[in-house]
Amino acid sequence: MTSATIRPIRSGFSLGEYLTCLNGIVWREALRFLHQRERFISALVRPLVWLFIFAAGFRQVLGLSIIPPYETYILYEVYIAPGLMAMIQLFNGMQSSLSMVYDREMGNMRTLLVSPLPRWFLLSCKLLAGTAVSLLQVYAFLLIAWFWDIAPPPAGYLTVLPALVLSGLMLGALGMLISSGIKQLENFAGVMNFVIFPMFFASSALYPLWRILESSPMLYYVCLFNPFTHAVELIRFALYGQVNWTSLAVVGGCTIAFMVGAIYAYDPSRGLIRRGPAGGET
Amino acid sequence: MTATDAFSAGQNTPDIPSRPEAVEMPALSIDGVSHSYGARQALIDVGFTVAPASFTALLGLNGAGKSTLFSLITRLFGIQRGHIGIFGHDVAHAPGEALRLLGVVFQPRTLDLDLSVTQNLLYHAALHGIARRDGRERSREVLARIGLADRAGSKVRDLSGGQMRRLEIARALLHRPRLLLLDEATVGLDVKARADILNHVRQLVTEQGISVLWATHLFDEIGSNDDLVVLHQGRVLAQDKVARVIADTGGGDINTAFMRLTGSTAQSGSPTS
């Protein structure tokens, strides 16, 4: 066969190209979210059911003492609001990973993975896009909660933003890591049972840790080592303009660990290599 | 305007690389590539080259290893053994440079059905770092060329199978690659849509100098002047001009040549004409 004379292409990518790529991935994720109105509604209905029904019912049963960051007695609805915000992000993170598994099964994921930009960057963009979508949902929830008299200090709406970004990244990275290990869409139902429910219930989202300690020391330690507990506490403190340093360290550390794991798992020479070609391909 | 006419209109000039040094190399070089899924060997010491501005048909039965090879070239899978280069850029060590020069149409559809035609193209443009304004301009260009300008705002799920395939090819060309890979690109299409797509891809070779690797199991998609690589059960059985492969095997046509090359082992299904 013949050869021809060509000149080599330039190496590396400019900052503009990186930003264009990030913008494109976030834009696509937002478009998909807007097209899936049911997803937005269900993302809101879930925490609102907890807030309006569960919290109202348990208000009289579950008394709360004054614990930081609160400076006075609070309603149970006020207590569980940060937990429900984190729950929105937890479900969104898992929804994003479900979407990645679906994209991989349907072939759409290839469009992303054959981009010439570094794969770690593509996955990070995907993660940021998912987090941005979760922020929309959380603030929509806060708006509705405000009408229910659950109103943190006005500055809290701003101070909670960095905490939401970090917790959104952590839960999104966890979802991405999980998605790398799921080979078939059908297997994803297991994630509900083995990840979402245990993480949510074994945390401080619905009841303070001191109450759990009273009833079961072992469960207390499970909750204490649950990263979701720290996401909840990070959000809770940030909502009142405070920083829970322990939670910040745990959430930050887990974000890095989950992200590194996901990038490792999506590396073609590692995670993807164990899978055969999609059905029907050879 | 027919799809073929639409395909032939316009120009798609590949990006001109920025560094001035001139080098001479094949569009695609595959050297000693082996790949296995656990104990099952999918590719065994595969090696061939695709010349610049050539149409190379990769012929093989279902299960021959064509899609695995495409997954390795596009870095969806890691290369276990051997080397793959795209215009001299090693896919394993310089994936960014290699993938920049590559456009690919996979066997399964990879379009986002819920997004519009233009949105799919803009997403692809962004993934290649092409700014939005430039992406819009290129999208208009390619849509006019494939005769889908009037469907720019339509959701992809509303397109026919042939239109989707044409859109995928247009998308693969949006970043102006120099090498185009198509994996069974005409599967599931009617005769006319198949012919339109094949003609368009051949025009890309002759008019724009794009190199094409066309994976297929259909004999009638292979022309007498094409370069041919026969892949069977993970091994390359022949690589040459079609006429020479036919002559070397003593068969009167590509069908017979293929059967002689693969012998009695071609039982899992046979290519069709």
Complete DSSP assignment for A95-130: HHHHHHHHHHHHTHHHHHHTSSS-HHHHHHHHHHHH
> Phi/psi at A6 (nearest 5 deg)?
-135, 165
Task: Give Cα separations from B180 to A161, B25, B57, B170 (angstroms).
Answer: 45, 16, 12, 11
Cα gap A44→A143, rounded to integer Å:
11
Give me the sign of the Cα torsion angle B218, B219, B222, B223. Answer: negative
Residue ranges of B 140-199 with Cβ closer than 8 A to chain A: 178, 183
Q: Specify the DSSP class assigned to residue A192.
A: I
| pLDDT digit string, tens, across residues A15-53 | 999 999 999 999 988 888 887 777 778 778 888 888 888
pLDDT attached to residue B1? 41
Dihedral sign computed on CA atoms, order B217, B113, B139, A131: negative
Probe site for chain B from A11, A28, A124, A282 (most B CB atoms < 10 A):
A282
Share of chain B above pLDDT 90, in %: 50
Q: How many CB atoms lie within 10 A of CB B51?
A: 16
CB of A4 within 8 Å of a chain B CB? The answer is yes
Q: Please answer yes or no on whether B64 and A282 come within 8 Å at the CB atom.
A: yes
For residue A107, the chain B residue with the least C-alpha distance is B110
Among A216, A204, A207, smallest CA distance to A246 is for A204
Distance CA(B257)–CA(A248), nearest Å, equals 68
The answer to whether A15 faces chain B, any CB pair under 8 Å, is no
In tens, the pLDDT along A84-100 reads 999 999 988 888 877 77
Give the model's pLDDT for residue A10: 58
Span A265-272, mean pLDDT?
62
More confident residue, B85 or A104: B85
User: What integer pLDDT is reported at residue A60 of this predicted model?
Assistant: 66
Crossing angle of the two packed helices A119-147 and A37-49, in degrees rounded to 10: 50
Among the listed residues B81, B69, B74, B89, the one whose alpha carbon sits nearest the alpha carbon of residue B27:
B89
pLDDT tens per residue, range A106-154: 777 888 888 999 988 998 998 999 899 899 999 999 998 888 888 888 9
In A, minimum Cα distance to B15 occurs at: A9
Minimum CA–CA partner of B127 in chain A: A21
Which 8-state DSSP code applies to residue B17? Answer: P
The pLDDT of residue A100 is 78
Band of residue B227 on the pLDDT scale cut at 50, 70, 90? very high
Q: Do A16 and B129 touch (CB under 8 A)?
A: yes
Backbone angles phi, psi at B191, to 5 degrees: -60, -45
CA-atom Rg of chain A in angstroms: 21
A28 and B115: CB-CB below 8 Å?
Answer: yes
Highest mean pLDDT: which range of A73-87, A192-206, A240-254, B159-173: A240-254
pLDDT of residue A65: 64
Packed helices A245-265 and A119-147: angle between N→C axes, nearest 10 degrees: 140
Res A158 pLDDT > 60: yes
The reply to whether B245 touches chain A by the CB within 8 Å rule is no
Please provide the size of chain A in residues.
Answer: 282
Mark A240-264 as b/e (b = at least 16 C-beta within 10 Å). Answer: beeebeebbebbeebbeebbebbbe
Which domains, ranges and CATH numbers included, belong to chain B?
Answer: 3-11+41-262 (3.40.50.300)
Partner-chain contact A114 B75, CB within 8 Å: yes
Q: 3-state DSSP call for residue B116?
A: strand
Cβ pair A117:B127 closer than 8 A: yes
Tell me whether B129 touches chain A (CB under 8 Å): yes
Grouping H, G, I as helix, E, B as strand and the rest as coil, residue B79 is coil
Poorest-confidence range of A27-31, B160-164, B250-254?
Answer: B250-254
Q: Do B52 and A32 touch (CB under 8 A)?
A: no
B51 → closest Cβ in A3, A106, A117: A3
Q: What distance, in Å, lies between the first and last C-alpha atoms of chain A?
A: 26
The Cα–Cα gap between A32 and A36 comes to 6
Q: Name which residue leads in pLDDT, A165 or A218.
A: A165
Confidence of residue A186 (pLDDT cuts 50, 70, 90): low
Nearest CA in chain B to A274: B37
Helical H runs in A36-75?
37-49, 55-58
- The strand order across the sheet containing B40-50 reads B40-50, B28-37, B81-86, B89-90
Contact between A208 and A192 under an 8 Å Cβ cutoff? The reply is: no
Q: Which residues pair with B232 in a beta bridge?
A: B235
Say if residue B4's pLDDT is above 70.
no
- Count other Cβ atoms within 10 Å, centred on residue B146: 27
A57 at B interface, C-beta within 8 A: no
Torsion over CA of B51, B54, B55 and B56, rounded to 10 degrees?
Answer: -10
Using a CB-CB cut-off of 8 Å, the residues of chain A touching B25 are: 3, 6
Alpha helix ranges (H) inside B1-89: 3-8, 66-73
Question: Does the pLDDT value for residue A7 go beyond 60?
Answer: no
Structure tokens at B44: 């065994």
Say if the Cβ atoms of A281 and B64 lie within 8 Å.
no
What does the block give as tokens for A170?
């952590």
Question: Do residues A21 and A112 touch, judged by C-beta distance below 8 A?
Answer: no
Q: Is the ipTM of this complex over 0.90?
A: no
Q: What is the pLDDT averaged over residues B150-179?
A: 90
Sheet holding B211-216, edge to edge: B102-105, B179-183, B211-216, B55-59, B227-232, B235-241
First CA to last CA distance, chain B: 28
How many other CB atoms are found less than 10 A from the CB of residue A85? 28
